[in-house]
Structure formats: C-alpha cells, structure tokens
Amino acid sequence: MEFLRPQTWAEALAAKAELPGAVPIQGGTDVMVEINFDVRRPPALLDLTRVAELARWSAEPDGRLRVGAGVPYARVISELADRLPGLAQAARTVGSPQIRNRGTVGGNLGAASPAGDSHPPLLACGAVIEVESAARGVRAVPAEEFYLGVKRNALEPDELIKAFVTPVAGGPQYFSKVGTRNAMVIAVCSFCVALHPAERRAGTGIGSAAPVPLRALAAEEFLAAELDWAGTAPLAPALLTRFGELVGAAAAPIDDVRGTAAYRRHALSVLARRTLTWAWNDHRKAAERCA
Amino acid sequence: MEEDAKGRFSRRQVLAASTALAAATTVAPGGARPAAAGAAPEIVGPGEVRVALRVNGQVRETLVEPRVTLLDALREKLDLTGTKKGCDHGECGACTVLVDGVRVKSCLTLAIMREGAEITTIEGLADGSRLHPMQVAFLERDAFQCGFCTPGQILSAVGLLKEGRPRSRDEIREGMSGNLCRCSAYPNIVDAVADVAEVPR
C-alpha cells in the first residue's frame, strides 16, 4: 500500500486525479477499521491531515457556514453547537470521545453509510456538499443528491470532498437516535427535524432506515400545510401522530442484526413525534418571548 | 523526513495528470517539498518507511510499512507494550494514547500519520518515580481487576480532564464511555477519576 502525503489541497487533487483508487484518510475512524481487518486493501491511502484548509470553518458572505471536511466532531460540538444544533447533537452521539476527537463529517460523507449520524441533520438543514477535482473544479451537490446507495455517494473517482455549506439554524433543531447503549453505537435508526420559521416549513432527515439517508418529503409537506407558525399553541396530538406515520412511511428499512424493519418504522414514528414536540415547544417559547 | 531515499525507503513523485500540470511541476530533488500549487505530493511505501515518532518526549526512529497502526508501531517496533491491543477497531479503548494532548485510539491512526506529533503513552505519564495523580488515584481506588484496560482508561481519563473538568459522576461516565472494562470495575474507575477531577461523591 502506497501512502500519499499532500501538503496542500492542490496536491491532494492532483494525487486523486493520478491515482483514483487512492482512499482518502482524515480521522481514520472508518477507513482504519477496514484496513486492520483486511476488509479492503486499497492500492494507496491519501493522507489529508496535512491539508490545513480542510480543518477550518468560516461564514460565507450569504451568511451560510462553510465547514471544511477535516473539522472533527469534537469541534463541531465545541465551536458550532449554537449555529448548527442538529448537527452538534448528532455529533455528540458519534462513537466515543476518542472517536469524536478524530472523526469528521467529511469522513461520514465519504463512507456514505446509511447509518452515518451526520446525514439526517445535513438533510434537514438543506446542506450542500462541495466536492472538487483537479480537472473540473468545484461542484456543489445538495445533500439529498449526494447519497446514491449503501456506501455509495456522488463523488467521481477523481473528486475529493472539500466542505459542506449549510444555512445557520433559523429555528430549533433536534436529532434523536436509537441504539443499544449511549456510546459506540451504530444507529438502529435516527431522525432529525429542523424548523425553518422564516420559510414557514420544516426539514427532515432519516438515517439507518433505507439504503440511503433521506428526507421524509410527504411529512415535510404535511407540516408546511398544517403548522400554525404565528400561533403559540402546543401541537395537536392528531398532527403529531400523522407526522410520525408519514416519517415511518418514508423509510424503506430492512431486517438486520441491529433491528427489524417493522421496529425501525415504529421507532422512527416515535422519534419524529418526540423531536417535533421538542422543536415546536422551543419555537413557542421563542415566539412568546418576542410577543 | 527529507533525507534521501535509501535502503527499503522508496520515494517518488506522482506523474502529473495533464501536460499543463506537468509543465508546472518539476520533480523536486532529494524529496524536497514541491512548492507550486497543483504540484504532485510525496509518495512513500508500499515497503517500509523510516518514521520518526516523538514518544514521551523522545524522538524514536523506526521502519514501518505505511499500513502499520500507531498501536502496532508502539508495541512491536518501540517495545512500548503498556498500550494494549484489545479489539483493533476502536470499540474498546484499551489502545488510547494522547496525541498532542488529545486522547485518540492508536489502533485507528497510522504511525506514519503521527510524525511530528507529541505522543504520550502510559510509560510516559509518571514523572520519574513519581506517579501521575491519575495513576495514584487508580491505585488508591483499586480501579481495576485484571488491569488490561487500565493504561487506556488512565490515558482516557487524563485526556478527559484536559478537555474540561467533568462536573458530576454522570459526566465522568459519559466522558469515559469509549473505554470498556470487561471486569466491570466501572464504579471504582469513576471514583478514581472523580478524585482527580474533585467531583463530590
């Protein structure tokens, strides 16, 4: 196995163009598991840890946040929790503290596991993934178009993930996940809801309950039609029930070692009702403070 | 890192993909870093590569293949066997070390990626014959039975306190959730960490 050590992003892109089989490595928390157990033996590893710009985040002129693919979960939690609460909540459930010190959202995107914890909040927030190649430059891929199948994403062989760009939270966001314990758990299923009061709509993201992470589009349309954004009343039980049903129906789960399809649909409905209740209650409190 | 290739140490430049790129890129002599944007990066391996690791304040050189983990390099090449190999895939935490003061699992990082970093293992925690306060607390609280997970537990606890002082036993449990103890000495481990973190019982 060869080992490529680019010092700059340009070098990294040149290397990926020359050796498309090279597997990028940043935190290593996913890639190393496969290497240690000989699940895969890539011809080359592309070490991105020396590319300083990947480890930075910044505000875009339009107010969105641009987060480099090499920013570890620990920094998403400590530096971005106020602006990206849904993603920060998801980051807190990733692996263990040691994993969060090294693992990155970029790695989650590269691995494209349907169970990756970053995906539901990226979908619910309307994030865009920035990918780049030496030959064709930067391409912005909306999160919902990025996931193509189990562990397959929209990257071309010569492309690398540079960053994700996402709006700063304009309302409450909640992420929730089902697992057997509180640490080192691959999600049985997960869900994120993000309220966007300025647009009078809510975004959703479902994880680990279909070949790809996905939005519950019918559930989002239902909320856009039914939520009384000006009101400060609690949500009607019938509305919550229907929302839960629509989220469960949007999933396409399988039976596997972590849970059955029926359990996942049921659990997703519960997570959907719970997270929407938390988010709406926060929204009501904020509305009352403004009134 | 910049010395000439010798022995089994191989070092090449990637051939630039396009002619434009090739024109901008000349092969740097002696493995010096290419400076121009779009230049090709350094390639090492697949054979053994000379790696200089700074472990417990000492720079130690060794030859490792690029695929060798920091854990295996510490144990097999540098004879620092205090760091334990439990699961080799990041579940158990027995291999926890500090890299630049941050706790990481040494099975999930390559030795070659940690050149230039300050690595602290259990062997480097004591100040001469004076044990680190966390080591003392583990002894006083009898925070182990078989002891296999203990080096990782102690390094993880030291890393936890560097990240911010836990305010409760629950926060200690959460902060130590990446380290498994099959003897289930958890109550005593929490006691030991609580002593050093000055968390009331």
* Chain B contact present for A25, CB below 8 A: yes
Does residue A21 contact residue A46 with C-beta atoms inside 8 Å?
Answer: no
Nearest alpha-carbon partner for A264 in A193, A186, A187, A184: A187
pLDDT of residue B40: 78
**Are residues A217 and A100 part of one domain?**
no
Four-residue CA torsion sign, B183, B79, A1, A155: positive
Determine whether the interchain pair B43/A44 forms a contact, defined as Cβ–Cβ distance below 8 Å.
Answer: yes
Nearest alpha-carbon partner for B102 in A256, A279, A59, A103: A103
Alpha carbon A259 to chain centroid, angstroms? 21
Contacts of B20 in chain A (CB under 8 A): none
Beta bridge partners of B130: B127
pLDDT at A183 over 60: yes
pLDDT of residue B14: 37
**Are residues A252 and A218 part of one domain?**
yes
Q: At A232, is the pLDDT very low, low, confident or very high (cuts 50, 70, 90)?
A: confident
Coil, helix or strand at residue A160: strand
> What DSSP element (H or E) covers A128?
strand A128-133
pLDDT of residue A10: 96
Read off the CATH number of the domain in which A107 is found: 3.30.465.10
Does residue B17 contact residue A14 with C-beta atoms inside 8 Å?
Answer: yes
Of A5, A11, A18, the CB nearest to B44: A5
Tell me the C-alpha distance between A215 and A120, whole Å.
8
Nearest alpha-carbon partner for A110 in A26, A183, A191: A26
Give the distance from residue A243's alpha carbon to the nearest chain B alpha carbon, in angstroms.
32
Domain that holds residue A153: 2-111+127-166
Q: Name the residue ranges covered by the structural domains of chain B.
A: 48-124, 126-201
Contacts of B33 in chain A (CB under 8 A): 7
Q: State how many domains chain A has.
A: 2
Q: Please list the alpha-helical segments (H only) found in A73-148.
A: 73-80, 85-92, 97-102, 105-111, 119-125, 143-146
> What DSSP element (H or E) covers A152?
strand A152-153
CB-based burial label for B87 (10 Å; 0-12, 13-18, 19+): middle
Of A4, A10, A98, the CB nearest to B93: A98
* Chain A contact present for B103, CB below 8 A: yes
pLDDT of residue A19: 95
pLDDT at A211 over 90: yes
**Are residues A201 and A149 part of one domain?**
no
Tell me the C-alpha distance between A104 and B47, whole Å.
29
Per-residue model confidence as pLDDT tens digits over B90-125? 999 999 999 999 999 999 999 999 999 999 999 999
- Mean pLDDT of the A3-7 span: 95
* Chain A contact present for B7, CB below 8 A: no
**Are residues A214 and A136 part of one domain?**
no
Of A3, A13, A97, the CB nearest to B112: A3
**Mean pLDDT score of chain A, rounded to an integer?**
95
Give the distance from residue B66's alpha carbon to the nearest chain A alpha carbon, in angstroms.
6
* Chain A contact present for B153, CB below 8 A: no
Per-residue model confidence as pLDDT tens digits over A239-264? 999 999 999 999 999 999 999 999 99
Of A18, A35, A99, the CB nearest to B14: A18
β-strands A173-178, A189-196 pairing: antiparallel
The DSSP secondary-structure symbol of B73 reads: I
**Are residues A162 and A85 part of one domain?**
yes
pLDDT at B24 over 80: no
Tell me the C-alpha distance between A279 and A283, whole Å.
6
Structure tokens at B201: 């019982």
**Are residues A177 and A104 part of one domain?**
no
β-strands A65-68, A160-166 pairing: antiparallel
Tell me the C-alpha distance between B131 and B181, whole Å.
22
Give the distance from residue B108's alpha carbon to the nearest chain A alpha carbon, in angstroms.
5
Q: List phi, psi (to 5°) of B126.
A: -70, 155
Interface test with B, best of A1, A96, A104, A182 (most B CBs within 10 A): A96
Terminal Cα distance for chain A, rounded:
63
* Chain A contact present for B133, CB below 8 A: no
What percentage of chain A reaches a pLDDT higher than 70? 100
Coil, helix or strand at residue B72: helix
Nearest alpha-carbon partner for B152 in B196, B72, B98, B76: B98
What percentage of chain B reaches a pLDDT higher than 90? 75
Give the distance from residue A89's alpha carbon to the nearest chain B alpha carbon, in angstroms.
14
Of A35, A49, A182, the CB nearest to B177: A182
Beta bridge partners of A3: A45, B44
**Are residues A154 and A60 part of one domain?**
yes
Residue of B nearest to A51 (CA): B41
pLDDT of residue A288: 83
pLDDT at B200 over 60: yes
* Chain B contact present for A2, CB below 8 A: yes
Residue A122 lies in a domain: no
If one looks up domain B126-201 in CATH, what number appears? 1.10.150.120
Homologous superfamily of B48-124 in CATH? Beta-grasp domain (3.10.20.30)
Determine whether the interchain pair A18/B15 forms a contact, defined as Cβ–Cβ distance below 8 Å.
Answer: yes
pLDDT of residue A123: 98
Determine whether the interchain pair B21/A12 forms a contact, defined as Cβ–Cβ distance below 8 Å.
Answer: no
* Chain B contact present for A179, CB below 8 A: no
Nearest alpha-carbon partner for A120 in A64, A162, A178: A178
pLDDT of residue A184: 87
Query: What distances in angstroms separate CA A275 from CA A193, A216, A250, A281, one per listed residue?
Result: 7, 14, 16, 10
Read off the CATH number of the domain in which A211 is found: 3.30.390.50
* Chain B contact present for A36, CB below 8 A: yes
Residue A116 lies in a domain: no
Determine whether the interchain pair B93/A96 forms a contact, defined as Cβ–Cβ distance below 8 Å.
Answer: yes
Tell me the C-alpha distance between A260 and A188, whole Å.
9
pLDDT of residue B38: 52
Contacts of B113 in chain A (CB under 8 A): 25, 28, 47, 49
pLDDT at B35 over 60: no
Give the distance from residue B140's alpha carbon to the nearest chain A alpha carbon, in angstroms.
25
